[in-house]
Copies of this chain bind each other. A is one copy, B any other.
């Protein structure tokens, strides 16, 4: 797999340099400069919202740093969690005396690193809370929902938590809205082709020319089941049915994200969205603020995911609040 890169060892740092050059509102901080912050002044007493994860998922994670979204983000090597130190750097950068929410995907390494960083932060008097994204319905049964990993749906939690923090919510309020959004967000993805880690000898996985895989992880972890490739409408029907099986009672409005895992073009996303919109409409759900595009990727992986965030008035209001980062602008 060809890539437009230099030495693979410089991939992440050159990428971050380019990101910050292109978006001068972002800055690299910390000893190894693996935490990203934005330069819009945070008022003293604002709760900080931070995230973190591996590289290779742009716009996730660092691309969502900006007013109304994340205040800081720790970033690791490709598909690796950020180091404990980078997590500390991000927490420290986001602290304005009112505590910091650590909001990231449910992966063991990321969780442990943020926990250790949080313990160090506590020693320095910074209070933290942790909320884990657990939207991938393919990764555990509903009864074990807390074991699910976090994928594309995490950005809805970013948006709501960021808006709550901007609105002056305290740490408990920010953490609890993030948790509420996580609890009401579900994602299912289907992969068509692999990505390759820069410098690796081969692709992360292989998949036959006529097959697709449901529930593939965003690092290329094996999926849950394979299918022969089928028409897009059939796939969407299957995906929407799985997502709606976990629809909370009384919900009539949803936010929708049809996400490219990387190389799947906009044209195909709109074909998927068309069917998803028809099916959600048939299920009596009104779509609010659909997002269609590459929002959470695995470099050049082929495929798409669909995320639903089941709304209530509070979440809907927070999703509509102004926010501004390199890849998502609201209001």
Question: Residue among A6, A290, A292 with the most chain B CB within 10 A?
Answer: A6
* 0 or 1 for each of A271-283: is its CB under 8 Å from B? (1 = yes): 1111001000000
Least CB separation from A264: chain B residue: B4
Task: Mark out the residues of chain A between 316 and 331 whose CB falls within 8 Å of any chain B CB in the assembled complex.
Answer: 329
Contacts A14-B274, A22-B270, A22-B273 given; indicate if A2 touches B265 (C-beta within 8 A). no
A290 proximity list for chain B (CB < 8 A): 21-22
* 0 or 1 for each of A1-27: is its CB under 8 Å from B? (1 = yes): 011111100010011111101100000
Least CB separation from A262: chain B residue: B265
How many identical chains are in the complex?
2
Q: Is the CB of A272 within 8 A of B209?
A: no
A232 proximity list for chain B (CB < 8 A): 4-6
Q: Is the CB of B18 within 8 A of A270?
A: yes
Question: Residue among A6, A22, A56, A231 with the most chain B CB within 10 A?
Answer: A22
* 0 or 1 for each of A113-141: is its CB under 8 Å from B? (1 = yes): 00000000000000000000000000000
Q: Is the CB of A4 within 8 A of B272?
A: yes
A304 proximity list for chain B (CB < 8 A): 4
A268 to B3, CA, bound (A): 7
A267 proximity list for chain B (CB < 8 A): 11, 15, 55-56, 58, 299
A264 to B262, CA, bound (A): 8
Distance (whole angstroms) from the CB of A61 to the closest CB of chain B: 12
Distance (whole angstroms) from the CB of A112 to the closest CB of chain B: 25
Distance (whole angstroms) from the CB of A223 to the closest CB of chain B: 15
A193 at the B interface (CB under 8 A): yes
Distance (whole angstroms) from the CB of A272 to the closest CB of chain B: 6
A294 at the B interface (CB under 8 A): yes
A297 at the B interface (CB under 8 A): yes
A263 at the B interface (CB under 8 A): yes
Q: Is the CB of A299 within 8 A of B2?
A: no
Contacts A5-B231, A5-B232 given; indicate if A263 touches B262 (C-beta within 8 A). yes
Least CB separation from A297: chain B residue: B265
| Residues of A in contact, count (CB < 8 Å) | 55
Task: Mark out the residues of chain A between 284 and 312 whose CB falls within 8 Å of any chain B CB in the assembled complex.
Answer: 290, 292, 294, 297, 299-300, 302-304
Contacts A267-B55, A267-B58, A329-B329 given; indicate if A2 touches B273 (C-beta within 8 A). no
A269 proximity list for chain B (CB < 8 A): 18
A274 to B10, CA, bound (A): 12
Q: Is the CB of B231 within 8 A of A274?
A: no
A329 to B323, CA, bound (A): 13
A266 at the B interface (CB under 8 A): yes
Q: Is the CB of B277 within 8 A of A5?
A: no
Q: Is the CB of B6 within 8 A of A231?
A: yes
Q: Is the CB of B274 within 8 A of A18?
A: yes
A-side residues, CB < 8 A to B, are 2-7, 11, 14-19, 21-22, 55-56, 58-59, 63, 190, 192-193, 209-210, 212, 229, 231-233, 235, 262-274, 277, 290, 292, 294, 297, 299-300, 302-304, 329
Q: Which 9 A-B pairs have the closest CB atoms?
A: A18-B270, A263-B263, A18-B274, A58-B266, A4-B268, A2-B192, A18-B273, A265-B299, A6-B231
